[in-house]
């Protein structure tokens, strides 16, 4: 969907619940379109001029919050499977009414129990095998029940400040080469979040992944070649694992990504930072 064909909604007053890397990169752009941006977080954070800080812990009862038209929730997993639901319930109680648009950032970790035998789409049911994946799934349900939220599931976020793969290759840390992996460049994820918040007719659920899922060994070899070092050793058993995500719904909706594959994204990172 091209920019010119998108019908946009007014952001109005916008609440960022959680002020981590994604919210920090998104906030300056939101300021140009919103009637005010609030950032709710537990600790002090350096905010752009114009962003209002709200210091609070969403796992505790909250003081009354002002009415907002748009809300983005980017919270890390809590210590229990009910942490997301508790946080979202506290928000629902503190807000005078549900925002017209809420986006809840989940994770493709909801498919933790799936294997690589088939490609997973948004129509597939999540498979939880841990407290973390159970919490993510329950968080998605709570976000929809309480706020009618749009759910975004990113995988393997990388980009500026997220150079785990480069550090792993430089350190020559062994890895399971046969494990399937999925990823999204941080810039493409921020673009997607901005669109989900601003576009009138947003999808209810999207997988935020690029067009090139790949075995980890393939990615390690590519990054190693760019860095001029050896590929880290394979410590797996030679059997495919992990899962493969289909991002067609995202690509059809938002159009071409800045980095449609890991080759483009990691090459840019290494050109820029060395």
**pLDDT over 60 (residue 165):** yes
The predicted-structure confidence for 126-145, as pLDDT tens digits, reads as follows: 988 899 999 999 999 999 99
| Contact present, 129 and 113 (Cβ < 8 Å) | yes
Cα separation, 56 vs 7, in Å, equals 34
Q: What is the rounded average pLDDT of the residues 11-15?
A: 97
% of the chain exceeding 70 in pLDDT: 97
**pLDDT of 6:** 72
**pLDDT of 4:** 42
% of the chain exceeding 90 in pLDDT: 88
Rounded to the nearest 10 degrees, the angle between the axes of helix 164-171 and helix 262-273 is 70
The predicted-structure confidence for 24-36, as pLDDT tens digits, reads as follows: 999 999 999 999 9
| 3 pLDDT tier (thresholds 50, 70, 90) | very low
The predicted-structure confidence for 66-108, as pLDDT tens digits, reads as follows: 999 999 999 998 888 999 999 999 999 999 999 999 999 999 9
Residues 6+ apart with CB under 8 A from 91: 17, 58, 62, 65, 71, 73, 146
The answer, as to whether pTM is greater than 0.85, is yes
Pseudo-torsion of CA 189, 190, 194, 199, nearest 10°?
-20
The predicted-structure confidence for 173-200, as pLDDT tens digits, reads as follows: 999 999 999 999 999 999 999 999 999 9
Residues 6+ apart with CB under 8 A from 41: 18, 19, 53, 54, 55, 56
**pLDDT of 175:** 97
Nearest CA-CA partner of 96 in 68, 124, 118: 68
Tell me which residue has tokens 């140009």: 32
């Amino acid at each position: 969907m091209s920019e010119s064909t998108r019908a946009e909604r007014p952001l109005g007053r916008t609440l960022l619940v959680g002020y981590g890397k994604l919210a920090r990169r998104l906030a300056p752009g939101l300021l140009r379109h919103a009637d005010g941006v609030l950032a709710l977080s537990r600790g002090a954070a350096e905010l752009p001029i114009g962003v209002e800080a709200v210091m609070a812990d969403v796992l505790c009862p909250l003081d009354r919050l002002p009415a907002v038209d748009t809300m983005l929730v980017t919270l890390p997993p809590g210590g229990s499977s009910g942490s997301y639901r508790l946080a979202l319930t506290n928000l629902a109680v503190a807000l005078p009414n549900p925002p017209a648009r809420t986006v809840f950032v989940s994770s493709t970790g909801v498919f933790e129990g799936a294997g690589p035998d088939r490609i997973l789409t948004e129509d597939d049911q999540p498979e939880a095998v841990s407290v973390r994946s159970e919490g993510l799934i329950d968080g998605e349900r709570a976000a929809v029940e309480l706020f009618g939220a749009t759910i975004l599931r990113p995988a393997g976020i990388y980009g500026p400040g997220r150079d785990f793969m480069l550090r792993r290759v430089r350190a020559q840390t062994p890895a399971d080469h046969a494990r399937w992996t999925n990823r999204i460049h941080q810039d493409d994820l921020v673009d997607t979040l901005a669109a989900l918040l601003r576009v009138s007719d947003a999808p209810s659920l999207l997988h935020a992944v690029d067009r090139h899922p790949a075995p980890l060994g393939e990615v390690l070899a590519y990054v190693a070649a760019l860095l001029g070092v050896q590929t880290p050793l394979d410590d797996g058993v030679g059997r495919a694992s992990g899962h493969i995500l289909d991002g067609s719904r995202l690509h059809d909706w938002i159009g071409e990504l800045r980095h449609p594959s890991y080759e483009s994204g990691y090459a840019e990172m290494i050109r820029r930072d060395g």
